[in-house]
Structure 1
Amino acid sequence: MKEGDYTAKANIFKVLSDKQRRDILVMLKDERLNAGEIAEKLGISPAALSYHLKLLKEADLVMEYKEKNFIYYEINTTVFQELVMWISQFKGE
């Protein structure tokens, strides 16, 4: 594994260390949501949500899609699949 791969995974774990970001991912597990819906469900300000979404996007854990006047967010399952495969190498036989 290249050094860049370790850096990317370390960043993912750092992003996942925050409870509110994990809560956002759980919310997005079943459906796309826009920022207003996420902020309302979490009970946080738009500015705080913007910060969390920025970090989640930088770690490639969420993707955004524009529809009409809204931006919707959803989980990037590819990154989670790669992470699960990487972690599975440590399980015993």
Structure 2
Amino acid sequence: MNNSTTFKMLSDPVRRKILLLLRNGKLSAGEIAEQFELTNATVSYHLKKLKEADLVFEEKDKQYIYYDLNLSVLEEILLWFEEFKGGLKNGKEKN
């Protein structure tokens, strides 16, 4: 997955809130849906998009599906942002 696709997935406020919910550990789809005033189908759509972007992992346990953060993708994004720090000095690009 490339950064532009990842950023597109992160541009949606519902998806960002889902990722924040998952920072404390895995949750079932139902537990995530309870945090929103959206239909279960809408929340499932957002979870599907996050999974397609490799931002979350999906784990099935009997009749439940649990989601967890894929920290490696988030770390790649942070590293990408870190590249800017090395190229800037006092808010201006180094020559």
For Structure 1 versus Structure 2, the TM-score category normalised by the shorter chain is 0.7 to 0.9
Which has a greater percent of helix? 1
The alignment status of 1:72 with 2:94, answered yes or no, reads no
Structure with greater Cα Rg: 2
Deviation at 1:28, TM superposition (A): 0.3
Gaps of 5+ in 2: 90-95
Amino acid at match of 1:18: D
The alignment status of 1:51 with 2:45, answered yes or no, reads yes
Q: CA RMSD in A?
A: 1.2
- The equivalent of 1:23 in structure 2 is 17
TM-score, normalised to structure 2's length?
0.85
**CA-to-partner distance for each residue in 1:21-46, whole Å, 9 max, x for gaps?**
00000000002111111111122211
State the distance in 1 between where 2:60 and 2:52 align: 18
How many residues are aligned here? 87
Which one of 7, 16, 24 corresponds to residue 13 of structure 1?
7
TM-score, normalised to structure 1's length?
0.87
Sequence identity, in percent? 48
